[in-house]
Structure 1
Amino acid sequence: MDLRQLEYFIAVAEEANFTRAAERVHISQPGISAQIRQLEHELGAALIDRSGRTATLTAAGEAALGPARMALAAAESVRRSVDEVNGLIRGRLVVGMITACTLTPLFDALAAFHRSHPGVQITLIEDNSDQLVELVRSNQADLALIGAADTAPEGLDSLPIVSEKLVVAVPKGHPLSGRRSVRLDDIGEYSIISLPVGTGIRAVFDRACAAHGLRPNVALQASAPASVADLAARGLGVAVLSESMASAHRDKLHFIPLDGVDAPAVLALVWSATTSGPALRELLERCRRAFGVAPADDGEDTADGSDTAESGALLAAT
């Protein structure tokens, strides 16, 4: 007997019909009948009662069905085990990251993975967060580090890295620089300097403005957060950034909490669980270590805070 014969036998047993079983396993009806007759001949007993309108199991067939299912499950387990090994010996991973940003923990994870599995080819691509999400959804990327508004994108698995509130950043001496906090409508009279549409921080800001019925004057946009800060330092407008990114420029900018924006900007790794393989799972484990993230007791992934300052600064680039 062989595994194919067992598969055909199980199909007939479950469909109770040779024609439907043949369609299910993509073989002709005479072909499946011949294979099962050969199996019965090898076992020395009839497995299927063909005397009625439906194909029913004989006593021998009933006894054989359970072990047949176990045999197929064992064979599938063997295939999966070999695939697990092969996936870490040779393969390809496409990893997405935000444009114009140096992601040190991600680079550390990629380097550690490459040292352990040099046969896996790694391709790195850059884009904004919205585009990276679509690349993961369409299986054109295996993993992406993105910025999101409040929560990670629906339909994808995620590993949150850090979550931060938004602030406005202005140069010393600006009319807002003496304030302890500002509301969204307080900055309505000023030109806004922001990251482009499709980034996490911009999504948080735009949604908050829409919720308050405001239309901010986004006069300048830059994909690099340092450029946003630089433009604000030169007096060209009020910058909208994450707190940690703004604090990196505290020598030339004063940053103020932005009231009325309750949703945080989230930095997260995202991937599709339905297409994840052994190489991706191994890379994710390397990323957890690099970003200082470990599974929480309730099964969700949480950051331990060790890389919050660096990761938080990256939020402004998302």
Structure 2
Amino acid sequence: MELHQLKYLVAVADLGSFTAAAADLHVSQSGVSAQVAKLEHELGHRLFDRRARSVSITDAGLEVLPHARAALASVTTIGTVSDELSGMMRGSLRLGTVIGCTVPGYLAGFAAFRRSYPGVSVSVVEDNSDRLIVGLAAGRLDVALVAHAEDLPATITALTVIREPLAAVVPTDHPWADRDTVSCADLAEATVLSLPAGTGVRSALTATCAAAHVDVTPSVAAYSPEAVLALVELGSGVGVLTATMADGRATLVAIPVADSVQTSLSLASASAPSAAARAMTAALTETLAPAR
């Protein structure tokens, strides 16, 4: 039994396929399959049921999985203790952020960490928040800046830095520009531009309109707020983002969405963070103002 086999086991279980696990770990799919098969042979139990189009974890796999997670976490802890005993900060850190993050303070905190700890190599992953949260819980990320409309899992420690409702963003000459609020019923009659499923904004939009018993499905889901705003400026539709995302656009106005579920941006870390993860969290906390 080898550590990388346990890592592959956890990745396949979390991501639901050998292909997705291989892509996440940057190894070949055949390598992941072969190593998991070797682990199964050594343990004498099938850990996954393999079908033509899907993979599901077996009862034996469910029994083994928490122990594999614990073993991987213990190895990380040993490295952290070693670094702390030697008074050095080194190693690697996996940092996740929402796609196209331009939050004031994020880059400043990142730069401060790099100046203080040049011996730590940092890999940055940009992704939708749902996948970042899964990555944190599975131990594939150390720290992440995530957007969410629901509470984060109990295993994740988080500091919320922004909390705000949704806004409909339109050009200053749009018929809605002078309105105090926009309802989900209004949005259902418009061409809506927003962010993809898995983002905090999209989750908040879905929850808000579900509570109003109105179906609002964006016609366009762009991966960055800047793309949505540019399309709104070109007259392609009504953007649904937050007011903060539209700051600084003199040609646009942000109108609150009535009875909106709030979306939050939080600095999150998994349980038992490494010394490097604690230092990165501290650096970002210094430059990101907590939400009130």
Name the TM tier (shorter chain).
0.5 to 0.7
Q: 1:131 aligns to what?
A: 131
Name the CA distance, whole Å, in 2 between partners of 1:129 and 1:86.
35
State the 1:85 CA deviation.
3.9
State the 1:106 CA deviation.
2.6
Q: 1:120 aligns to what?
A: 120
Name the CA distance, whole Å, in 2 between partners of 1:154 and 1:214.
31
Change (3 A) 1:136 1:217: closer
Change (3 A) 1:92 1:216: same
Q: 1:253 aligns to what?
A: 252
Name the CA distance, whole Å, in 1 between partners of 2:187 and 2:270.
39
Deviation string 1:242-271 (CA, Å, 9 cap, x unpaired) is 11222322x21122111121x211011111
Q: How does 1:32-181 map to 2 (within 5 A)?
A: 82-86=82-86, 88-103=88-103, 105-181=105-181
Q: 2:265 aligns to what?
A: 267
Identity across aligned pairs (percent)?
Answer: 32
Deviation string 1:25-48 (CA, Å, 9 cap, x unpaired) is xxxxxxxxxxxxxxxxxxxxxxxx
Name the CA distance, whole Å, in 2 between partners of 1:114 and 1:173.
45
Kept after mapping to 2: 8 A contact 1:87/1:279: no
Q: How does 1:221-236 map to 2 (within 5 A)?
A: 221-236=221-236
State the 1:169 CA deviation.
1.1
Does 2:234 align with 1:237?
Answer: no
Q: 2:12 aligns to what?
A: none
Q: 2:213 aligns to what?
A: 213
Name the CA distance, whole Å, in 2 between partners of 1:123 and 1:83.
19
Deviation string 1:202-236 (CA, Å, 9 cap, x unpaired) is 11001111222211141111111111112112222
* Residues matched between the structures, number: 214
Q: What letter corresponds to residue 253 of structure 1 in structure 2? A: L
What's the RMSD between the two structures over aligned residues?
Answer: 2.2
Kept after mapping to 2: 8 A contact 1:88/1:278: no
State the 1:109 CA deviation.
2.1
Change (3 A) 1:87 1:132: farther
Name the CA distance, whole Å, in 1 between partners of 2:232 and 2:118.
44
Q: What letter corresponds to residue 268 of structure 1 in structure 2? A: S
Q: 1:194 aligns to what?
A: 194
Change (3 A) 1:222 1:285: same
Q: 1:279 aligns to what?
A: 276
Unaligned runs of 5+ in 2: 1-78
Q: How does 1:13-24 map to 2 (within 5 A)?
A: none
Name the CA distance, whole Å, in 2 between partners of 1:168 and 1:209.
13
Kept after mapping to 2: 8 A contact 1:191/1:217: no
Kept after mapping to 1: 8 A contact 2:183/2:258: yes
State the 1:82 CA deviation.
4.8
TM-score, structure 1 normalization: 0.62
Q: What letter corresponds to residue 286 of structure 1 in structure 2? A: A
Name the CA distance, whole Å, in 1 between partners of 2:118 and 2:286.
19
Q: What letter corresponds to residue 255 of structure 1 in structure 2? A: A
Name the CA distance, whole Å, in 1 between partners of 2:102 and 2:185.
33
State the 1:81 CA deviation.
6.2
Unaligned runs of 5+ in 1: 1-78, 293-301, 305-318
| Higher alpha-carbon Rg | 1
1:290 aligned residue (259, 267, 287): 287
State the 1:153 CA deviation.
4.0
